[in-house]
Structure 1
Amino acid sequence: MSLKTLENSLGLLEFFTRETPAWGVRELAKASQMSHSVVHRILSTFEKRGFLMQDPQSHKYELGISFWQYGQMVQEKIHLNDLIHPVLERICKSVGESVFFTTLDGQEGVCIDIVESLQIIKYAVSIGSRTQLYAGASNKVMMAFLSDDLQESIMKRGLVPVTPNTIIDEHKLREDLTDIRQKGWCYSVGEYTESVFGVAIPLFNYRNEVFSSITIAGPAYRVKEDQIQPVVKLLREEGKKLQDYFHRLRIAKI
């Protein structure tokens, strides 16, 4: 196999995502701008090796059992929370507020890890909780870096207020998302939980797609907007270390 063929083959696999888990030969050839015959040959080879399987009715290809087997091996070798948690602990120790890691799952944010503040009055969120992308710093900082089409799709589903401070005006939300994208971070107060501030930065995968965020949150009276630049600087420094590690592992989603 030539290096070009190998590159093309691996490139085709990257089209199989959570959003588009199944592909027909013709549609994948069109999306990848490769010839129908080449795509068919590559997919057939992957199917023989168990990396893809073909649905007998739709004739579309999906990821096969071999990926699951290798995935199990990687999961045993690398526990992502073992990478994420120490970063959150360092940030929490430095700022004294709760710190949590949110990942993008379709059109929602999912909290996958948190280190709570040791202070009596603190912000807490449940691991596994799902939240709308238009409410709160941890979510909006990801939504800001999605495509315009995805942003519009989220808004067209309906903007339902979580608190009285949730931005539900589409025009105002678009302006807010543009501002977040330009700054590279988000600060919000009371949008998801009343009287709680949030400061968040986005993390990007090796394809430069936003896929997660790190957020510091606590009672609004403890951190004002004019006090957050040192917090943003710390988030960026620690976030870059984590992001660089994800890049080396070629992790696209969590």
Structure 2
Amino acid sequence: MDNVSITVNKAIDILEVFLQKEGQLSLTEISEATGLNVATAYRLLSTLARRGYLSQHEKKGAYSLGLKMLDFNYAIRRNLKFIDFAYLSLSRLSKEQNQSVFLTALDADEALVIEEVGVNEDLRINSPVGKRLSLHCTACGKVLLASLPEEERKAYYATSGLQPFTANTITDVARLEQELAKVNTDGVAYDNEEYRLGLWIAASPVYDGNGRVIAAAGIMVPTSDVDAESTQRFTTAIKSCTAKISQIMARIS
């Protein structure tokens, strides 16, 4: 690897620290998190701050993400036009059902939240835009995982270890494979307190014009509000929502 590539990788390592930690970070904290010596970290931090990618807080001697990073957010949203189309359907669903809803896309081996509309603040904090969710124990994650080829699913099982988050998390590969097959058949996945106690989610896939799963949308409901009747209602609602988004995607893709 040449010197330029090494330097670029080090700068990216610094930026990624801010994805893992909230708030302002000191030079020492960044140095320790990245493994860079203080002098190298300071030089790269100064450059990133000068270009606007980081903000330097002189009084505290700390750094945080700069406003320049918002430009990337806007650029991504321009490229992912379906987010704008999806938002209208998600907003309508949230209003009709009086529940929080969100949209995810597969990013490496996680489900990345790319849009959310919430009415319940306690639930919204569990799916802010940018949050990453495990695939095997979340409704949206299951939808995305079910869309992958068998080889990719096996690779995910091997690397994730099917980490349990609650006593309800499925940690057996054979059982999870059965559930994913049902997800593909029924067009809906559920998370019944598998990721977080007190939370129930139903999710359904969003397709592009070629029939490829490009996203998954979910509706979040407190388990206290879920019974047989509401399960059917929420299931029908989320499937109808994603079907409408898929129809739009088929026309523009």
TM-score (norm 2): 0.63
Distance 1:114 1:192 in 2: 18
Distance 1:101 1:202 in 2: 10
Structure 1 residues 103 and 225: alpha-carbon distance in aligned structure 2, compared to 1, 3 A threshold: farther
The 5 Å alignment of 1:68-83 reads: 79-83=81-85
The ranges of structure 1 where at least 4 consecutive aligned residues each deviate by more than 3 angstroms after the TM superposition are: 72-81, 118-124
Give the gaps of 5 or more residues in structure 1: 1-71
The alignment status of 1:247 with 2:250, answered yes or no, reads: yes
Distance 2:145 2:94 in 1: 24
- Which amino acid is 2:223 matched to? A
Structure 1 residues 248 and 123: alpha-carbon distance in aligned structure 2, compared to 1, 3 A threshold: same
Deviation at 1:196, TM superposition (A): 0.3
The alignment status of 1:96 with 2:98, answered yes or no, reads: yes
Distance 1:121 1:148 in 2: 32
Q: Which residue number in structure 2 is paired with residue 197 of structure 1?
A: 200
Which residue, out of 150, 153, 171, partners 2:152? Answer: 150
Q: How many residue pairs get matched?
A: 179
Q: Which residue number in structure 1 is paired with residue 232 of structure 2?
A: 229
Give the gaps of 5 or more residues in structure 2: 1-73
Deviation at 1:115, TM superposition (A): 0.8
Which residue, out of 125, 128, 131, partners 2:127? Answer: 125
The alignment status of 1:166 with 2:169, answered yes or no, reads: yes
Distance 1:194 1:78 in 2: 32
Distance 1:152 1:99 in 2: 29
Q: What secondary structure, in the 3-state scheme, does the structure 1 residue paired with 2:225 have? A: coil
- Which amino acid is 1:146 matched to? L
Which residue, out of 110, 113, 116, partners 1:111? Answer: 113
Deviation at 1:237, TM superposition (A): 2.2
Which residue, out of 184, 190, 202, partners 1:181? Answer: 184
Q: Deviations over 1:82-134 (max 9, x none)?
A: 32222111101111111000111232110011111257777741210111211
Is this contact kept in 2: 1:123–1:219, CA < 8 A? no
Structure 1 residues 173 and 243: alpha-carbon distance in aligned structure 2, compared to 1, 3 A threshold: same
Distance 2:79 2:174 in 1: 46
Is this contact kept in 1: 2:187–2:239, CA < 8 A? no
Deviation at 1:165, TM superposition (A): 1.7
Structure 1 residues 148 and 222: alpha-carbon distance in aligned structure 2, compared to 1, 3 A threshold: same
Deviation at 1:239, TM superposition (A): 1.5
RMSD: 2.6
Deviation at 1:181, TM superposition (A): 1.5
Structure 1 residues 173 and 225: alpha-carbon distance in aligned structure 2, compared to 1, 3 A threshold: farther
Q: Which has a greater percent of helix?
A: 2
Deviation at 1:139, TM superposition (A): 0.8
Which residue, out of 207, 212, 215, partners 1:209? Answer: 212
Deviation at 1:230, TM superposition (A): 2.2
TM-score (norm 1): 0.63
Q: Which residue number in structure 2 is paired with residue 10 of structure 1?
A: none
Which residue, out of 84, 87, 112, partners 1:85? Answer: 87
Paired-residue identity, %: 25
Distance 1:133 1:148 in 2: 14
Distance 1:181 1:85 in 2: 24
